[in-house]
Amino acid sequence: MFTGIIEELGVVEAAGARLSIRCAHVLSDLTPGASIAVNGVCLTAIEIRPDGFAADLSPETLERTTLGELQPGDCVNLERPLTLQTRLSGHLVQGHVDAAGAIESLRDLGEGNWEVVVGVPRDLDRFLVYKGSIAIDGISLTIASVDDGLVKFAIIPHTWEATNLKRRKPGDRVNIECDMIAKHVARLMSPA
């Protein structure tokens, strides 16, 4: 379980079925077998080095997420799992990606603020609400508007600087995880 508050930007060293990431901060208590979110995808760290870690990607992960598209040198969002002593600053994020979407636009609003619009697959519409939570590449964001498959977010300067959003451009694909509570409510409300 994660919060969607990115702790560090890592750099991809090797991509493919074994993903190798160069990083520093998240290594302080990372152990083999521990969970770590990479661009919002919960992975198991299998190899810990002084300057990074590696994780294996299953065929399901490669198919459902954007991790299979990563290239050496790409910047990724990293977050260690939540502990019972940690404040929940974002929202509950499982690291179980629902789908990939694409950045439609990035607009500089001035003073370090940005507007980001992401195209989301239509089958996720029922989980998206104005002022609801969503994770985009593992970043806990609040939905500013939902309109015809497009979800808009207001990005504050800290989030812009602390995540890989500032390295993105229109057309880039991102991992999407809808709010877990919204998914459970939708399931409970659907006919049996």
What is the mean pLDDT of each successive set of 10 residues along the chain, which is 192 residues long?
A: 96 97 97 97 97 97 96 98 85 93 97 98 94 97 95 97 97 96 89 75
**pLDDT at residue 138, rounded to an integer:** 97
Level-2 CATH architecture, domain 8-79? Beta Barrel (2.40)
**pLDDT at residue 177, rounded to an integer:** 97
* CATH 2.40.30.20, domain 99-189, yes or no: yes
- The domains spanning 8-79 and 99-189 adopt the same CATH topology: yes
**pLDDT at residue 83, rounded to an integer:** 87
**What are the residue boundaries of the structural domains of the chain, listed by start?**
8-79, 99-189
Q: Give the total residue count for the chain.
A: 192
**pLDDT at residue 88, rounded to an integer:** 81
Q: Which residues contact 174 (CB under 8 A, 6 or more apart)?
A: 39, 66, 100, 101, 102, 103, 118, 136, 137, 168
